[in-house]
Amino acid sequence: MKKFLLFALLVLSLPVGAEKLPDNIYFRAMQDEMKRTVKELRTKEKDGQKPFYVVYKLTTDLGRYSVSASMGSPLRAFFFGNFVSANVLVDVGSRQHDSLGFERPNNWWESYAPTNTNIMPNGYDGIRQSLWEATNAEFVKVNEVYKEKQAYKRKKNLLNEKTPDFAPAAQASYVEEIKPWPAPDMQVWQDVVNNLSAQGKDLPYVEKLEVEAQFYQTGTYYLNSDGGFYQTFYPTGSIFWTAVLRTKDGYKDTESAFLPLSSWNVADNEKRLQEKTDKFLAKIKQHYQAQKGTAYLGPVLFTKEAASDFMGLLIRGVEKNKPLLSSAYEDDPEAGELRNKVGMRVISPVVDVYDRPHLREFKGRRLPNFAPVDDEGVASQDLTLVSGGKLVQLPSSRRSVKKGEKSNGHAFFRYAYPREMLTTAVVEPKNPLSQKELEEKLLSRCKELELDYCYIVPNMRGKDAMVERIYTADGHKEPVTGLEVSNLTTRALRDILAAGDDSDLYSNVIVPSLLVDEIELLPSDRRPDRKPFIARP
């Protein structure tokens, strides 16, 4: 029943085929410039290569709004929009031997990334002009990369490999209507953040409490020369709290919190905002009383936000699983370390893990990584990453598949050329426990290990974050600061003992609280300031 309730909160959206490109200035400009590029773009050098594959991905900023306040006073406000950013990818050579998948050595100013440009004004002529300039620059760059890559492949005897550098793939399309939301009433939101931040004045040890309201919405337009395209719309809004406080022992620490909004209307959020502020202030009161922690090794209960960071071990382990070639290194340092462990046990069987590119919403919130089509034009597939503790699937791209295999549609621009990435990971507990049951199991395990206490960790934000020490004898809790989760490796994934029934979304991972059998917490070497402190005016 609990498993059903989790997936009742997930809104699925399946790919919709589109018979033709949407008729708007973005696709017209991309299509026209793409035709010029493929037909006319050439180098003067005899050994220069022609472009055989081109990608444009435009993101339009349809309005970005922000207001903030500190201790009741307005701090900053801004609004901007009506501009476009573009990723421009040009590939030269052939599908068998192309220019990508190779990182140039000693070029610290040039990462493995497409040419990016910001376009203003937002109109056909402005978009076309900027695409023309960026495409020319990208074309010159990749021709140089192509020569270096082919020289490297000759040196390593890779030119006779049968697997192509860039495999052919059936192309897909998805189009949703882009209908911008009405602008939020920023004067009303300014009053809200003024009021919320003013409540920090009630706590004398709070030196600063800032509250910020952020709203933005974007439209994304993707087109490649193989025929793949998509158009998506993403609106979002959030409130952020940041506090600077002085603990009773003189440490200057910070606390932060955020609340995602499914509506930009103040009236729809007032109750939740005050409840969140009350909880945040209560946490600050606890933090003020916190004692400095000492080194610890033993069971830890990661609540949801910390659990998402912990599951990053798995996510990073399976992403970027096609290593880049480079004469600067033998092993790509960013390639996922679990890429060769399909069929092996990589995590505790307490949870299964999936990737859901077609999830549109979770608990009424739009998901940023909704992706029915990937950035190589391939229809994205749901993945079963882990089942029964064993690694079952990896995200794949047109670069990572072997001859005869097909991409599962998980290549995405993430500040780089498209590589194998996840979208929205879902960690599904097989036997979810309540928070009370998790704490009881934590205490039971600590008693087995003859520990006086163990820890509950809410986040992994550094050594000034607060954790809770829970005592084995009677279960009472004390706030502790100055500890940081240390020396985490993928081995720790196999130590998950139990999972909660409280799944939520953090950092594109839908995850419950997780009880892990052995985690190391190490203290910082910082020292408190000398008393007396200068009181806040």
Q: How far apart are CA 93 and CA 50, in angstroms?
A: 6
> DSSP of 118-130, one letter per residue?
EE-S-SHHHHHHH
Q: Could you tell me if 485 and 460 are in contact, meaning their C-beta atoms sit under 8 angstroms apart?
A: yes
What per-residue confidence (pLDDT) applies to 43?
84
Amino acid identity for residue 313 in this structure? L
Q: Where are the beta strands (DSSP E) in 98-193?
A: 115-119, 173-175
| Mean pLDDT, residues 163-175 taken together | 96
What per-residue confidence (pLDDT) applies to 19?
60
pLDDT exceeds cutoff 90 at 347: yes
Q: Compute the mean pLDDT over every residue in the chain, rounded to the nearest whole number.
A: 92
376 vs 536, more confident? 376
Amino acid identity for residue 86 in this structure? A
pLDDT digits (tens, 9 = 90+) for 209-229: 999 999 999 999 999 999 999
What are the phi and psi torsion angles at 118 (to 5°)?
A: -100, 135
| pLDDT band with cut points at 50, 70 and 90 for residue 5 | very low
Prediction pTM value: 0.92
Q: Which of 192, 336, 174 is nearest to 264 (CA)?
A: 192
pLDDT exceeds cutoff 60 at 292: yes
pLDDT exceeds cutoff 50 at 248: yes
Amino acid identity for residue 400 in this structure? S
Q: How far apart are CA 155 and CA 142, in angstroms?
A: 20
End-to-end CA distance of the chain: 54
